[in-house]
């Protein structure tokens, strides 16, 4: 086994990064894949969806800033988590003076890659050193989007960071998937969908994640969407998305 490492990023907030990381991870684990989730957001939303422990003794912050090993906890069958903590809000500043700071997460992850099929990294809504660390450590970037209001201008910045990371440190980084979340036909902006398709071509997944109340309620339950409401559109859509991803990676 040599894990495929996937960063889920978009510096726009509220586009479904955390919901997608949690739900894709849960779906892969249900299908028997070994998955590690890494929470890189100081808001800790991903960590909260997985554990009730609001203040982990050690978090990814200690690893990034104090060179401690990644604190990996098992949260479900086949599913492990590296939790975030509030201190992560300081990581950008605390890492700023470190040598080769963009590669810290990559080197921390190396010894764990043979234990997993997938590593999924949830990012903060910014394009700083923390998100760059995720991209440097990754094989692929997944970009969740909503179909409202002009997302493309902001995406140019994300594309620029990806190109920069590719050029300077991680030439193998690819955009692996672009997908719509919180989708409903009422808000559907056909123009946006067409523009995204023109820009990202076959990277755009067929599966769209519909707006779904169970997905909005799920975080408070501490359950995955497949446990909280297995018959919901949210569970159906994320399982379809997971199957579409696996079909693209037949070798895994």
182 binds Mg ion (CB under 5 A): no
Binding residues among 72-111 for Mg ion as defined by CB under 5 A: none
- Specify whether the CB–CB gap between 130 and 124 falls below 8 A: yes
Q: Kindly state the smallest distance separating residue 103's Cβ from ligand ADP, in Å.
A: 25
3-state helix, strand, coil in the chain (%, to 5): 50, 15, 35
Please report the DSSP string for 22-34 in residue order: HHHHHHHHHTT--
Which residues of the shown chain bind ligand ADP in the complex (CB under 6 A)? 13-19, 45, 125, 181-182, 209, 211-212, 215-216, 219, 234
Q: Kindly state the smallest distance separating residue 185's Cβ from ligand ADP, in Å.
A: 14
Q: Kindly state the smallest distance separating residue 41's Cβ from Mg ion, in Å.
A: 5
- The full 3-state SS of 132-170, as one line of letters, equals HHHHHCCCEEEEEECCCCCCHHHHHHHHHHHHHHHHHCC
Q: Kindly state the smallest distance separating residue 60's Cβ from ligand ADP, in Å.
A: 16
**What residues form DSSP beta bridges with 36?**
80, 119
17 binds Mg ion (CB under 5 A): yes
Nearer to ligand ADP, 45 or 133 (CB): 45
181 binds Mg ion (CB under 5 A): no
* Number of residues counted as binding Mg ion (CB under 5 A): 3
Binding residues among 19-48 for Mg ion as defined by CB under 5 A: 45
On the 0-12 / 13-18 / 19+ scale of CB atoms within 10 A, 150 is exposed
Q: Kindly state the smallest distance separating residue 168's Cβ from ligand ADP, in Å.
A: 26
209 contact choice in ligand ADP, Mg ion, none (CB below 5 to 8 Å, kind-dependent): ligand ADP
CA-wise closest residue to 23 among 86, 76, 85: 76
Which chain residues interact with Mg ion by CB under 5 A?
Answer: 17-18, 45
């Amino acid at each position: 086994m040599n894990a495929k490492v996937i960063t889920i990023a978009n510096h726009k907030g509220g586009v479904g990064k955390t919901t997608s990381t949690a739900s894709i991870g849960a779906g892969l684990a249900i299908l028997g894949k070994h998955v590690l989730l890494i929470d890189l957001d100081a808001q800790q939303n991903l960590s909260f969806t997985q554990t009730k422990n609001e203040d982990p003794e050690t978090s990814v912050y200690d690893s990034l800033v104090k060179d401690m090993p990644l604190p990996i906890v098992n949260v479900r069958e086949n599913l492990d988590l590296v939790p975030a903590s509030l201190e992560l809000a300081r990581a950008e500043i605390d890492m700023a003076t470190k040598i080769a700071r963009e590669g810290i997460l990559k080197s921390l992850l190396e010894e764990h890659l043979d234990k997993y099929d997938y590593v999924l990294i949830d990012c903060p809504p910014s394009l700083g050193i923390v998100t760059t660390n995720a991209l440097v450590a990754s094989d692929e970037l997944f970009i969740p989007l909503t179909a409202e209001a002009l997302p493309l201008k902001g995406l140019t910045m994300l594309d620029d960071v990806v190109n920069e990371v590719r050029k300077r440190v991680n030439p193998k980084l690819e955009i692996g998937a672009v997908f719509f979340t919180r989708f409903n036909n009422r808000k559907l902006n056909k123009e946006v969908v067409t523009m995204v398709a023109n820009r990202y071509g076959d990277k755009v997944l067929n599966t769209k994640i519909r707006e779904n109340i169970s997905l909005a309620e799920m975080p408070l339950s501490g359950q995955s969407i497949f446990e909280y409401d297995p018959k919901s559109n949210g569970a159906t859509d994320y399982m379809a998305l997971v199957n579409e991803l696996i079909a693209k990676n037949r070798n895994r």
